[in-house]
Amino acid sequence: MAGVMGIVYKEKDCVEDLKKGLQYLQHRAQDYCGLASFDGKKIKNITHEGKVLGSFSDIELKKLNGFYGIGSVANDEQPVSSYSSLGEMAICFDGNIINHIDLRDNFIKEGASFIGFSNPREIKNIDLISKIISKENNFEKGIEKLIKKIEGDFSIVALMKDSIYAARGWGRKPLILGENEKGYAVASESNSFLNICPPFKIIRDVKPGEIVQLNRYGINTLKEFNLQRLCVKSQDFNLK
């Protein structure tokens, strides 16, 4: 299990508030915590082993300044950064992949490389998720491919230069949207909204199969997939 969060502010650095929000998701995982932000030029990413409180120095938070940011508390290192035809992307993931080994081995047979690993067992779910999405020419196509390929479930927040994107799978992994006078947020749990001043007010849940875009102009639904039609495994999940 993991906790993920993203914040978009219109005119203010979001990183300190993002860190505060993640502290209220700490019960979901304690092994690693990470933050990524876009400063107007590039995406920056810092991950630490351990809990959010006390992990990030003031110097690190200043380096991570930006109006857009995502973060996670997880059992592995997140966010993961990549560069592809989509451009720069950092991604956080809450979920499970039942067919992890099959997906991993198929990638390797096809000639894909996973940089920084000494053996296949070190490759994590988040690495496969990032690889699947970044092979497509837009985020929506990446999520569609993910739905078709994986057995399991997911909630994802991704940071790119134009926006934060959030996507939810079959509904077992929650994502909630929020709003305050400074901007917009998405998180695994709404309790993360309470540690921020002013608190984010709950707008609604991200729907199963929905992709939303958050930027300084608002929240926009990009796609709502018909999960039963897309995935032959869909009958294994509660789609209500």
Q: Return phi, psi of residue 176, to 5°.
A: -120, 140
Residue environment code for 176-186, b if the CB has 16+ CB neighbours within 10 A, otherwise e: bbbbbebbbbb
pLDDT score recorded for residue 227: 83
- Whether pTM exceeds 0.85: yes
Residue ranges of domains in the chain: 3-95+153-236
- The length of the chain is 240
Alpha-carbon distance of 45 to 38, in angstroms, equals 9
Alpha-carbon distance of 3 to 147, in angstroms, equals 20
Alpha-carbon distance of 76 to 226, in angstroms, equals 31
Task: List, in sequence order, the alpha helices (H) in 88-209.
Answer: 100-109, 125-134, 139-149
**Could you tell me which of 57, 153, 159, 51 has the C-alpha nearest to residue 100?**
153
How far CA 127 is from CA of 24, 63, 81, 134, 224, in Å, comes to: 25, 25, 9, 11, 24
Topology of domain 3-95+153-236, CATH: Glutamine Phosphoribosylpyrophosphate, subunit 1, domain 1 (3.60.20)
In the predicted model, residues of the chain with pLDDT beneath 70 are 230-240
**Non-local CB neighbours of 240 within 8 Å, separated by 6+ positions:** 171
pLDDT score recorded for residue 240: 31
Task: List, in sequence order, the alpha helices (H) in 24-66.
Answer: 58-63
How far CA 110 is from CA of 84, 113, 135, in Å, comes to: 17, 9, 13
pLDDT score recorded for residue 116: 79
Task: Give the burial class of 109: count Cβ atoms within 10 A of its Cβ; 0-12 exposed, 13-18 middle, 19 or more buried.
Answer: exposed
Q: Give the type of residue at 9.
A: Y
**Could you tell me which of 221, 70, 63, 71 has the C-alpha nearest to residue 160?**
70
pLDDT score recorded for residue 233: 45
Alpha-carbon distance of 27 to 135, in angstroms, equals 33
pLDDT score recorded for residue 155: 98
pLDDT score recorded for residue 231: 62
How far CA 96 is from CA of 75, 143, 173, in Å, comes to: 12, 15, 9
